[in-house]
Structure 1
Amino acid sequence: MHDKNRSLVDLDKHALIHPYTNLANHQRTGPLVIERGDGIHVIDENGKSYIEGLAGLWSTALGFSEPELAAAAAKQFDALPTYHSFNGMATRPMIELANRLKDMVPISDGRVFFANSGSEINDTVIKLIWYTNNILGRPEKKKIITRMRSYHGVTLATASMTGLGTCHDGFDLPLDRFFKCMCPDYYREGLPGESEEQFSERCADDLRKLIEHEGAGTIAAFYADPVIAGGGVVPPPAGYFDRVQKILKENQILFVADEVICGFGRTGRAFASDTYHLQPDVITVAKALSSAYLPISAAIVAPTIWEPLISGSEKYDAFAHGFTYSGHPVSAAVALRTLEIYEERSIFQHVQSVGKHFAQRIDSFAGHPMVGDIRRVGLLGGIEFSSDPATKAQFDKLLKVGSFCSQKCQNHGLIIRNMGDIIAFCPPLIISEPEIDEMFRRFELALAETWQMAKANA
């Protein structure tokens, strides 16, 4: 039993292993303990309020104090607090949510599988695709292609798809069967004098060469987050997905759109697949599906995948995949109410409206002496720092400019996320124009301090 006289910070350091945290530093600094939420704000144990500029983890679309979601959870807890979906069992919230999702996505006659997180659902889709190819007599068609700097999760398989070295280092990853093509970052990867369209063609050619090298008959799927968020907020360059989808169709390679971050209004449309005119065979969602109030994720799969699953039971009997909490009734009820709120309050239209102001405010930092590039769509944006914007030179990694700025933002009551020297903004979708102004005012204060530090260490 723990000592009640010890602080939460001290108890944390002696009990928890934190994800995505420098554990050595954490033993010295301890956690920031968040006690409660209010709209787009969270409040720590000392009563200090912060604008949550990343919506938690790109996820809390309706803010941190939505009573309708708490009521939906309480109502379902009273009716049926838990049940499983194994052996053909089902609950009303799970059935209703599945039908609502299949009607929302740009996939005709899809079917829905539920899990608990983005990592789990992306891992599940890999298994579904491999299983389907076995059923269809294509046992060699198993390789998965993703992009450098993409993020798809941290299970053994999804971390292998993720194109970030930090998710591989020390973990004996990536596994076999997983391959990467180039990141479509026009700012960082584009050649001098190369247009966006030309750059997109070069990216497509890189994918084409990889397919030719490995053999189209061995490649099962191409996996893409429509906007690469965790790798630095990288929207697709002009013409990119038109070219990619053409190559995939020519080579009979499935296209999976990972909408775990982009789904449910983040880009101003229901899905980024709508924003960028994608025609995927699978869409995966999580995070904003329940506004992150309870764990739930889903994959909506086309008939080309779910129909072979049925014939698979003729060969293997039960479809032997699933989780205890797949389609958990309370999570499903909260997710269903979340989708209803998006519609009732015209949240996606709201994003389109305030997104224009968000764009104006983030674009106003162009021309700052340490801002190299600004990227944004809807209510998702990134600012990349450069020691010399004219040449795109990068700061010395030892300076940790992005981390410094992130900490200064926190000091000024703004929580954001840095990926190296890229600062990401992904506020709750309910944010107002005055709140956008205040978010960027706090960032501007932190940026000024970061610039002073960078100049002092030049």
Structure 2
Amino acid sequence: GYFSLGSEPAIRLAAELAERAPGDLNHVYFTLGGSDAVDSTVRFIRYYWNANGKPEKDQFISLGHGYHGSSTVGAGLTALPAFHAGFGLPFDWQHKIPSHYVYRNPVGTDPSAIIAASLKALEAKIAEVGGAERVAAFFAEPIQGSGGVLVPPVGWLRAVRKLCQDKDILFVADEVITGFGRTGPLFACEEDGVVPDLMTVAKGLTSGYVPMGAVFMSHKVYDVIADRAGENAVGHGYTY
């Protein structure tokens, strides 16, 4: 919808999706595609922390080899150089840590070692940008698509999600390429028993018949930003 406005078809579809979403991701915001879903997610996250009285939490971390769209904000979160060259990206509030990619991984191929290395890298990056009190969110694809179809070790997603939760950092699962049954379960994060704070979807949502994406939000996020009136209304939405 636009600001607090909606339509019956959108409400009905949102209800259908909420019934099938992992955990408490029961709130759905529709966009024009995957890149818009990522951009909207970043805006909602910034609004969430500002509304919580923590505007200093404005740094974002994503994963090497990751892809999060070709819009300005999404391309900055993306870790593929072709999407940065000539555009002045990434922004100085967008940071990366190495992928869990097994091939030529400096810690070898042992899954537990790869998971431990990712956690160490994420902890180090959090410290580098000023600590958890500065970090708004961590973005990751449950399976990295454009970066090479990189499948993480079992338990990797669960481990990084827990680290984020422990440090009060929002965890975003970018399911634009993996969502709607493309990896087995309806959403790939379910394979590792993970419920993110926010989740982006697109491609499989309509199978390409119409351009559409969506952001799923947990109660934790939605309850902070919903139904705010007047000058506190969330100034975000799409028309046509």
Q: Shorter-normalised TM-score: what interval?
A: over 0.9
The alpha carbon displacement at 1:130 in A equals 0.2
Q: How far apart are the structure 1 equivalents of 2:2 and 2:117?
A: 46
| 1:268 is aligned to 2:184 | yes
Match of 2:110 in 1: 195
Match of 2:78 in 1: 162
Match of 1:320 in 2: 235
Q: How many residues align?
A: 239
Match of 2:148 in 1: 232
Q: How far apart are the structure 1 equivalents of 2:3 and 2:165?
A: 36
Q: Runs of 5+ in structure 2 lacking a partner? A: none
Cα-to-partner distance string for 1:72-129 (whole Å, 9 max, x where unaligned): xxxxxxxxxxxxx436443322111100111111131621111111000100000000
The alpha carbon displacement at 1:189 in A equals 1.7
Match of 1:143 in 2: 59
Contact 2:179 2:188 in 1 (8 A): yes
The structure whose residues are more often helix, as a share, is 1
Contact 1:227 1:262 in 2 (8 A): yes
* Equivalences for residues 112-261 of structure 1 within 5 A: 112-192=28-108, 194-214=109-129, 215-261=131-177
Q: How far apart are the structure 2 equivalents of 1:122 and 1:87?
A: 18
Contact 2:3 2:234 in 1 (8 A): no
Contact 1:135 1:312 in 2 (8 A): no
> SS in structure 1 opposite 2:104?
helix
Contact 1:259 1:272 in 2 (8 A): yes
> SS in structure 2 opposite 1:124?
helix
Q: How far apart are the structure 1 equivalents of 2:4 and 2:58?
A: 29
- Alignment TM-score, normalising by the size of structure 1: 0.50
* Equivalences for residues 101-116 of structure 1 within 5 A: 101-108=17-24, 110-116=26-32
* Equivalences for residues 279-298 of structure 1 within 5 A: 279-298=195-214
Letter matched to residue 207 of structure 1: L
The alpha carbon displacement at 1:234 in A equals 0.2
Letter matched to residue 238 of structure 2: F
The alpha carbon displacement at 1:319 in A equals 2.2
The alpha carbon displacement at 1:212 in A equals 2.0
In structure 2, do the counterparts of structure 1 residues 221 and 92 end up closer, same or farther at CA, with 3 Å as the change threshold? same
> SS in structure 2 opposite 1:169?
coil
Contact 2:63 2:96 in 1 (8 A): yes
The alpha carbon displacement at 1:294 in A equals 0.3
* Equivalences for residues 358-373 of structure 1 within 5 A: none
Match of 1:423 in 2: none
Contact 2:45 2:136 in 1 (8 A): yes
> SS in structure 1 opposite 2:216?
strand
Match of 1:91 in 2: 7
Percent pairwise identity: 35
Contact 1:227 1:235 in 2 (8 A): yes
Match of 1:35 in 2: none
> SS in structure 2 opposite 1:97?
helix
Q: How far apart are the structure 1 equivalents of 2:3 and 2:68?
A: 29
Q: How far apart are the structure 2 equivalents of 1:92 and 1:222?
A: 33
Letter matched to residue 119 of structure 2: A
Report which of the two structures shows the higher radius of gyration computed on alpha carbons: 1
Contact 2:155 2:192 in 1 (8 A): no
Q: Relative contact order (alpha carbons < 8 A, sep ≥ 6): 1 or 2 greater? A: 2
Contact 1:135 1:311 in 2 (8 A): no
> SS in structure 2 opposite 1:150?
coil
Cα-to-partner distance string for 1:161-205 (whole Å, 9 max, x where unaligned): 00111100111111121110111101232435x512112211111
The alpha carbon displacement at 1:311 in A equals 6.2
The alpha carbon displacement at 1:136 in A equals 0.9
> SS in structure 2 opposite 1:98?
helix
